[in-house]
Amino acid sequence: MGEAAHEIALTVNGVLRRTRVPGRRLLSDCLRHDLGLTGTHVGCEHGVCGCCTVLLDGEPVRSCLMFAVTADGHEITTVEGLADGARMSPVQRAFAECHGLQCGFCTPGFLCTVTALLRENPAPSGEEVLEGLSGNLCRCTGYQNIVRAVHRAAEIMAEERAEEA
Amino acid sequence: MTEQLDAGLVARRIAGSDQVGEPRDPAEGREVGRARRRREDARLITGRTRWTDNIQLPGMLHVAFLRSPMAHARLTRVDVSAALAMPGVVAAFSGRDFAGEQGSLPCAWPVSEDVVIPDHPPMAVDRVRYVGEAVACVVATDRYRAADALEAIEADYEPLEAVLDMTEALSDGAPAVHEAGNQAFTWRFSGGDADAAFHDAPVVLDRTYVQQRLIPTAMEPRAVVAVPEGEGFTLYSATQIPHILRVMLALTTGIPEHLLRVVAPDVGGGFGSKLQVTAEEVLGLLLARRLGRPVKWTESRSEGNLTAHHGRDQIQRISVAAERDGRIRGVRVDLLADMGAYLMLVTPGVPLLGAFMYSGVYKMDAYDFTCTGVFTTKVPTDAYRGAGRPEATFAIERAVDELAAELGLDPVEVRRRNWISREEFPYTTVAGLTYDSGDYEAATERALALFGYDELRAEQADRRERRDPVQLGIGVSTYTEMCGLAPSRVLGSLSYGAGGWEHAAVRLLPTGKVEVVTGTSPHGQGHETSWSQITADALGVPFEDVSVLHGDTAVSPRGMDTYGSRSLVVGGVAVLAACEKVKEKAKRLAAHLLEAADDDVEFADGTFRVRGTDQGRTIQELALAAFAAHDLPDGFEPRLDADATFDPENFSFPHGTHLCAVEADTETGRVAIRSYVAVDDVGRVVNPLIVEGQVRGGIAQGIGQALFEEAVHDTGGNLLTTTMADYLIPSAADLPDFVTDRTETPATSNPLGVKGVGEAGTIAATPAVVNAVVDALRPHGVRDVPMPCTPERVWRALARSRANDGGTR
The string of DSSP letters for B2-43 reads PPPP-HHHHHHHHTT-S-SS----GGG--STT--PPPTTHHH
pLDDT score of B769 more than 60: yes
Q: How far apart are CA B397 and CA B395, in angstroms?
A: 6
Backbone phi, then psi, for A125, in 5-degree steps? -75, 170
Q: Do A102 and B526 touch (CB under 8 A)?
A: yes
Pick B54's closest partner by Cβ from A3, A38, A134. A38
Cis peptide before A158 (omega within 30 of 0): no
Under CATH, to which class is A5-81 assigned? Answer: alpha beta
Interface of A with B in 8-37 (CB under 8 A): 22, 24-25, 29, 32-33, 36-37
B451-465 average pLDDT score: 98
3 state DSSP class of B676: strand
Q: Do B731 and A37 touch (CB under 8 A)?
A: no
What superfamily does domain A90-164 belong to in CATH? Answer: [2Fe-2S]-binding domain (1.10.150.120)
Q: How far apart are CA B718 and CA B379, in angstroms?
A: 10
Minimal CA separation from A55 to chain B, in Å: 15
Mutate to test the interface with B, among A21, A26, A44 (most CBs of B within 10 A): A44
Give the model confidence (pLDDT) of B715-751 as tens digits.
Answer: 999 999 999 999 999 999 999 999 999 999 999 999 9
Minimal CA separation from A7 to chain B, in Å: 19
With beta carbons under 8 A apart, name residues in chain A contacting B47. 37-40, 78-80, 108
Minimal CA separation from A114 to chain B, in Å: 13
Pick A105's closest partner by Cβ from B269, B300, B723. B269
Percent of chain B with pLDDT over 70: 97
pLDDT score of B191 more than 50: yes
Q: What is the CA radius of gyration of chain B?
A: 28
Q: Do A95 and B523 touch (CB under 8 A)?
A: no
How many CB pairs lie under 8 A apart between chains A and B? Answer: 172
Give the model confidence (pLDDT) of B615-657 as tens digits.
Answer: 999 999 999 999 999 999 999 999 999 999 999 999 999 999 9
In this complex, is the C-beta atom of A38 within 8 Å of any C-beta atom belonging to chain B? yes
Q: Do B219 and A95 touch (CB under 8 A)?
A: no
Q: Do A102 and B271 touch (CB under 8 A)?
A: no
Q: Do B144 and A38 touch (CB under 8 A)?
A: no
With beta carbons under 8 A apart, name residues in chain B contacting A145. 693, 696
**pLDDT at site B549:** 98
Q: Do A105 and B268 touch (CB under 8 A)?
A: yes
Instruction: Reduce the secondary structure of B766-800 to three states and give it as a string.
Output: HHHHHHHHHHHHHHHCCCCCCCCCCHHHHHHHHHH
Q: Do A137 and B731 touch (CB under 8 A)?
A: yes
**pLDDT at site B5:** 44
Sequence-distant (≥ 6) Cβ neighbours of residue B103 within 8 angstroms: B121, B122, B252, B253, B254, B282
Pick A103's closest partner by Cβ from B220, B302, B701. B220
Question: Among 1.10.4080.10, 3.90.1170.50, 2.30.180.10, 3.40.50.720, what is the CATH number of B53-160+217-307?
Answer: 3.90.1170.50
pLDDT score of B3 more than 50: no
pLDDT score of B180 more than 80: yes
Give the model confidence (pLDDT) of B206-250 as tens digits.
Answer: 999 999 999 999 999 999 999 999 999 999 999 999 999 999 999
Q: Do A102 and B525 touch (CB under 8 A)?
A: yes
Q: Do B301 and A49 touch (CB under 8 A)?
A: yes
In this complex, is the C-beta atom of A128 within 8 Å of any C-beta atom belonging to chain B? no
Minimal CA separation from A163 to chain B, in Å: 25
**C-alpha closest to that of A2 among B352, B436, B510, B86:** B86
**pLDDT at site A45:** 87
In this complex, is the C-beta atom of B87 within 8 Å of any C-beta atom belonging to chain A? yes
Contact B741, B449 (CB under 8 A): no
In this complex, is the C-beta atom of B271 within 8 Å of any C-beta atom belonging to chain A? yes
In this complex, is the C-beta atom of B692 within 8 Å of any C-beta atom belonging to chain A? yes
pLDDT score of B663 more than 90: yes
CA dihedral B350, B355, B357, B363 (to 10 degrees): 180
Q: Which DSSP state fits B372? A: E
Give the total residue count for chain A: 165
Q: Do A25 and B300 touch (CB under 8 A)?
A: no
Cis peptide before B159 (omega within 30 of 0): no
**pLDDT at site B256:** 97
Give the model confidence (pLDDT) of B295-315 as tens digits.
Answer: 999 999 999 999 999 999 999
Percent of chain A with pLDDT over 90: 96
**pLDDT at site B10:** 56
CA dihedral B348, B352, B353, B357 (to 10 degrees): 150
In this complex, is the C-beta atom of A45 within 8 Å of any C-beta atom belonging to chain B? yes
B4-25 average pLDDT score: 57
Give the model confidence (pLDDT) of B33-81 as tens digits.
Answer: 999 999 999 999 999 999 999 999 999 999 999 999 999 999 999 999 9
Mutate to test the interface with B, among A117, A144, A146 (most CBs of B within 10 A): A144
In this complex, is the C-beta atom of A69 within 8 Å of any C-beta atom belonging to chain B? no
**C-alpha closest to that of B37 among B692, B758, B684, B690:** B690
Domain B384-482+652-804: assigned CATH number? 3.30.365.10
Contact B787, B210 (CB under 8 A): yes
Beta bridge mates, B680: B656, B742
Q: How far apart are CA B285 and CA B249, in angstroms?
A: 9
Q: Do B268 and A103 touch (CB under 8 A)?
A: yes
Q: How far apart are CA B90 and CA B76, in angstroms?
A: 25
pLDDT score of B1 more than 80: no
Q: How far apart are CA B233 and CA B260, in angstroms?
A: 5
In this complex, is the C-beta atom of A146 within 8 Å of any C-beta atom belonging to chain B? yes
**pLDDT at site B16:** 52
Average pLDDT, whole number, for chain B?
96
- Please report how many Cα atoms fall inside a 13 Å half-sphere around the Cα of residue B263, on the Cβ side: 18
With beta carbons under 8 A apart, name residues in chain A contacting B217. 139
3 state DSSP class of B405: helix
Backbone phi, then psi, for A16, in 5-degree steps? -75, 125
Q: How far apart are CA B798 and CA B790, in angstroms?
A: 12
In this complex, is the C-beta atom of A140 within 8 Å of any C-beta atom belonging to chain B? yes
Q: How far apart are CA B438 and CA B739, in angstroms?
A: 21
Interface of A with B in 75-114 (CB under 8 A): 78-80, 82-83, 88, 92, 95-97, 99, 101-108, 111
With beta carbons under 8 A apart, name residues in chain A contacting B699. 142
Pick A139's closest partner by Cβ from B41, B219, B723. B219
Percent of chain A with pLDDT over 70: 99
Contact B359, B366 (CB under 8 A): no
Mutate to test the interface with A, among B54, B61, B219, B708 (most CBs of A within 10 A): B219
Contact B771, B411 (CB under 8 A): yes
- Please state the domain extents for chain B: 9-30+501-646, 53-160+217-307, 384-482+652-804
Confidence class of residue B4 from pLDDT cuts 50, 70 and 90? Answer: very low
Pairing mode of beta strands B738-742, B671-681: parallel
**pLDDT at site B14:** 54
With beta carbons under 8 A apart, name residues in chain A contacting B42. 96
**pLDDT at site A165:** 86
**C-alpha closest to that of B440 among B652, B689, B739, B658:** B658
Percent of chain B with pLDDT over 90: 95
Distances (CA, A) of B318 to A10, B323, B378, B394, B475: 62, 17, 25, 11, 19
Quote the strand ranges of A36-121, DSSP E: 53-56, 59-62, 75-77
Pick A46's closest partner by Cβ from B690, B692, B723. B723
**C-alpha closest to that of B182 among B160, B159, B165, B207:** B165
Confidence class of residue B808 from pLDDT cuts 50, 70 and 90? Answer: very low
In this complex, is the C-beta atom of B697 within 8 Å of any C-beta atom belonging to chain A? yes
Q: How far apart are CA B581 and CA B602, in angstroms?
A: 14
**pLDDT at site B6:** 42
In this complex, is the C-beta atom of A54 within 8 Å of any C-beta atom belonging to chain B? no
Same fold for the pair B9-30+501-646 and B53-160+217-307: no
Sequence-distant (≥ 6) Cβ neighbours of residue B247 within 8 angstroms: B257, B498
Parts of chain A belonging to CATH 1.10.150.120: 90-164
Q: Do A144 and B738 touch (CB under 8 A)?
A: yes
Sequence-distant (≥ 6) Cβ neighbours of residue B213 within 8 angstroms: B310, B311, B312, B313, B338, B378, B381, B710, B711
Contact B437, B746 (CB under 8 A): yes
Average pLDDT, whole number, for chain A?
97
A46-66 average pLDDT score: 97
Q: How far apart are CA B630 and CA B633, in angstroms?
A: 10
Domain B9-30+501-646: assigned CATH number? 3.30.365.10
Confidence class of residue B13 from pLDDT cuts 50, 70 and 90? Answer: low
Pick A139's closest partner by Cβ from B42, B56, B729. B729
CA dihedral B685, B687, B691, B692 (to 10 degrees): 110
**pLDDT at site B166:** 98
Parts of chain A belonging to CATH 3.10.20.30: 5-81
Sequence-distant (≥ 6) Cβ neighbours of residue B19 within 8 angstroms: B13, B618, B620, B621
With beta carbons under 8 A apart, name residues in chain B contacting A3. 87
Q: Do B700 and A51 touch (CB under 8 A)?
A: no
pTM over 0.90: yes
With beta carbons under 8 A apart, name residues in chain B contacting A106. 219
Give the model confidence (pLDDT) of A79-135 as tens digits.
Answer: 999 999 999 999 999 999 999 999 999 999 999 999 999 999 999 999 999 999 999
Q: How far apart are CA A158 and CA B443, in angstroms?
A: 39
B458-461 contact pairs (CB < 8 A, 24+): B460/B775
With beta carbons under 8 A apart, name residues in chain B contacting A51. 219
- Please report how many Cα atoms fall inside a 13 Å half-sphere around the Cα of residue B519, on the Cβ side: 28
- Search chain B and give the residue with CA nearest A128: B733
Give the model confidence (pLDDT) of B665-699 as tens digits.
Answer: 999 999 999 999 999 999 999 999 999 999 999 99
Q: Which DSSP state fits B57? A: -
B349-370 average pLDDT score: 98
**pLDDT at site B28:** 87
Distances (CA, A) of B188 to A95, B367, B370, B373: 48, 11, 4, 12
Give the model confidence (pLDDT) of B370-390 as tens digits.
Answer: 999 999 999 999 999 999 999
- Please report how many Cα atoms fall inside a 13 Å half-sphere around the Cα of residue B642, on the Cβ side: 19
Minimal CA separation from B762 to chain A, in Å: 11
With beta carbons under 8 A apart, name residues in chain B contacting A97. 37
